[in-house]
Amino acid sequence: MIVYYLRLALRSLRRTPVMTALMVSAIGLGIGASMTMLTVLHVMSRDPIPERSSMLFVPHLDPLPKNFPRDNEWGSPADNLTWPDAMALLRNGKAARQAILAGGEALLWPVEGEPLPVQLPGRFATADFFPMFGVPMEHGQGWSTADDTARARVMVLSNTTARKLFGSADPVGRMVQVTRKRVGFRVVGVAADWNPQPQFYADAGQKGGFGEEDAFFLPLSTAMELELGTSNHVAGWARAERKDMYTDPSTSWLQMWVQLDTPAQVADYRRFLYDYAAQQHSSGRFERGPDTARLYPLMDWLAHLRLVPDDLRLQTHLAVGFLVVSLLNIVALLLAKFLRRGSEVGIRRALGARRSDVFTQLGAEAVLIGVLGGVLGIGVAQLGLWSVRQRPDAYAKVAQMDTTMLVVTVLLALAATLLAGLLPAWRASRIAPALQIKAS
């Protein structure tokens, strides 16, 4: 019976090609515009590491003076940690795992062959970075805590960088020169494809990150010894000597993440943070009270950073509003179309068709319009996402429609059109057969 109704719907749509084109175009454009923005919103606000996010937390301290401005376009300097605070938390914290990290750039080229060097972005971190975030390894492994302490000249490459420098050969154990001084580093591991979006562990002053993968990883202590600098946002609120800038207690630039496996560990670490902030406050270093200490779960941290720009949310609301206007137009078009077929409906009713049969028949027509509109909407959405990827914004590169959003697009088109067709179908099914037969 459903197949029969679909045949009737297709025949009806063919009889009114202009109106059909208008309805399919309206639903397609509305779905396409809204799904373009919803997809961008989805990729910017999704969980970047769902298998581990429930265990990952950000310790947050506030060493700023009381008169320091709270908000600006770069976020609060307190979103990053100072070197003394980060080292104190690393030494005294009782997390299952913990890592301090910062972004950086360096010239890299292999010792053998002496090709031209390449300037690549990377990450300076402590040893727990790899097991805590579950970074998959293609060859070798990360370095150890002992390597951190010894400021070892070791490094991990991304698989893309390893192929760029060494081709298809396994580079573990081989040497890479870093910086213009050509300091030799031994490759201890090669990371497999791993580039969570957003890059939740990136600099808070740069609003997280939606960019390319890190090309290399070096021990933070080694980077400090070699004065490799950082690509992080460095914020200071007191005068500091240039040579001591990165270790000054009034300069924030580091990120820290901890892994806490149980609620008891979370409670203990929160207490530890509060006690540390209280100690610094009583010594006069922290002007704000210990209540400013926070422990953010991963998703709460991303919400705190406000990764999604306000203009993007506004564009999403406008796109959804455009879809609503499109649906209202479809309601009017379907109502006019169905009511014009009053004589046909009246004859069917007189021949024994029930109201539910008429309602189902007209509903099938609305569903068919929804399917066609959904197909058009997918094309419009893909075109819209392509245009987003041409923008200079960092998040633009990740504007890709995944399987989930593809299914949502089709379901939204069907649901929207079916909902829009309910009133016209119900109204047409209520037509009194005798009046329509007499009028015809």
Residue-number span of the structural domain to which 123 is assigned: 62-292
Verify that 146 and 76 share a domain, yes or no. yes
Q: What is the DSSP letter of 46?
A: S
Residue 188, CA distances (Å) to 103, 148, 178, 252, 290 in order: 20, 14, 15, 30, 41
Rg (CA), the chain: 30
Please identify which residue in the block is written with the tokens 């000597």.
241
Last residue of some domain: 243, 259, 292? 292
> What tokens appear for 416 in the block?
């929207």
* Burial grade of 221 (CB within 10 A; 0-12, 13-18, 19 or more): middle
Record the pTM.
0.78
Q: What b-and-e string marks burial along 372-404, b requiring 16 or more CB atoms within 10 Å of the CB?
A: bbbbbbbebbbebbeebeeeeebbeebbebeee
Answer yes or no: is 178 within a domain.
yes
- How many other CB atoms sit within 10 Å of the CB of residue 332? 12
- Distance, in Å, from the CA atom of 369 to the CA atom of 383, rounded to the nearest integer, reads 21
Last residue of some domain: 261, 292, 323? 292
Verify that 41 and 166 share a domain, yes or no. no
Verify that 198 and 137 share a domain, yes or no. yes
Give the three-class secondary structure for 123: strand
The per-residue pLDDT string of the chain (440 residues; one tens digit each, 9 = 90 and over) reads: 677 767 777 787 788 888 888 888 888 888 888 888 888 887 777 888 999 999 999 999 999 988 887 655 556 788 899 999 999 999 987 899 999 999 999 988 876 555 678 889 999 999 999 999 999 999 999 999 999 999 999 999 999 999 888 888 899 999 998 987 889 999 999 999 998 888 889 886 555 467 678 999 999 999 999 999 898 888 888 765 555 789 999 999 999 999 999 999 999 999 999 999 999 999 999 998 899 999 999 999 988 888 777 777 788 888 888 888 887 887 788 777 776 666 666 666 666 667 777 777 777 887 788 788 888 888 888 888 888 877 766 666 777 777 777 777 777 777 777 777 777 777 766 666 555 555 44
Verify that 156 and 13 share a domain, yes or no. no
Task: Please state the φ and ψ torsions of residue 78, each to the nearest 5 degrees.
Answer: -70, -10
